[in-house]
Copies of this chain bind each other. A is one copy, B any other.
Amino acid sequence: MMAVLGENRYGKAEVRVVHVDRSRQPHTIRDWNVSISLAGDMREVHLSGANDRVLPTDTQKNTVYAFAQRLGNVEPEVFALALARHFVDDRAGISRARVQLDSYGWNPIGPHSLARAGGEIRTVTVIQDEQSGSWVLGGLRELTLLNTTDSEFWGFARDEYTTLAETTDRMLATSVEARWRFRSADCDWAAAHDKARQALLDAFTGTYSYSLQQSLYAMGCRVLAEAPQVCEVRLALPNKHHFLVDLSPFGLPNDNEVYLAADRPYGLIEGQVLAEDAPEPGPAWS
């Protein structure tokens, strides 16, 4: 029986680069974790170990640092696009590059001092494809949100394994992971990010929710409405269960006051919301 090589890619993952801009006070920084994946005709290296088409992952790491100096204080989407295009357009034998980037927030606390913002991480993915060009995904993850009320869950399907009680007032919490596809590779990235982020917050807090799916769909729709540069949103929303504790054995009431925050298991709701006129995604999500 013959084996054949299928899809493959390689690259350097988790290059930690920090860029400082001292041109203005307060100083600002870009604090990123950059991962690169390259694909091309790589049969030889798999079959015989001949490396002449392999740009070392060490070189890719060096390129990240060099580009950080060359490009300076730019939005992460700009950086990822430049880096991905460099590999596909300016290096031999690379037909597709993916650059993924996590951006950590910092807040100024002095003219040259900052405190890590904590909370959510801004994400960028760029695919540069020899055939189809540039694809940009914005996003964020670890944005943890909670509504203390205005959430119900009832009327669900039941079978012999169903023991869950219906509720007309529950706590609803999630840790938002969202990615959105831009229509083009040219955009006011910072403004678009802020609008998409705010849309997620507004839809989560403003939706009287009968299910987390409903909140998810509202969040996706709101991003599309507020950020017209975006044509598709994908969301993964863990249902971070908060269970009301039964205090009746101790003679105590619990009028939606004391909750147990559970770790595992958790519900996981995943969905995609598209603009009606969204173009085909091509390799954007690959």
Contact = CB atoms under 8 A, between A and B. Distances in A.
A34 B257 CA distance: 17
Interface residues of A, number: 138
B213 A268 contact: no
A20 interface: yes
A74 to B, nearest CB: 13
Contacts of A260: 16-18, 65
A113 B267 contact: no
A148 B261 contact: no
Contact of A45 (B63, B65, B213, B224): B213
A20 B257 contact: yes
Interface of A: 1-20, 22, 27, 29, 31, 35, 37, 42, 45-59, 61-63, 65-66, 68-70, 72, 91-93, 106, 109-110, 112-120, 142-150, 153-164, 171, 201, 204-206, 209-211, 213-214, 216-217, 220-221, 224-225, 228, 232, 238-239, 242, 245, 247, 249-254, 256-277
Contact of A214 (B45, B154, B254, B272): B45
A51 B157 contact: yes
Contacts of A48: 210, 214
**Oligomer copy total:** 4
B144 A116 contact: yes
Given A65-B260, A66-B252, A261-B18, A273 B3 contact: yes
B1 A228 contact: yes
Given A213-B42, A217-B46, A276 B2 contact: yes
Given A6-B271, A13-B267, A17-B245, 11 more contacts: A8-B272, A15-B264, A16-B261, A19-B258, A51-B211, A54-B156, A59-B162, A62-B250, A69-B247, A116-B145, A163-B249
A98 to B, nearest CB: 11
A245 B161 contact: no
Contacts of A50: 155, 210
A3 B118 contact: no
Contacts of A1: 224-225, 228, 275-277
Contacts of A220: 3
Given A114-B146, A217-B47, A256 B22 contact: yes
A64 to B, nearest CB: 9
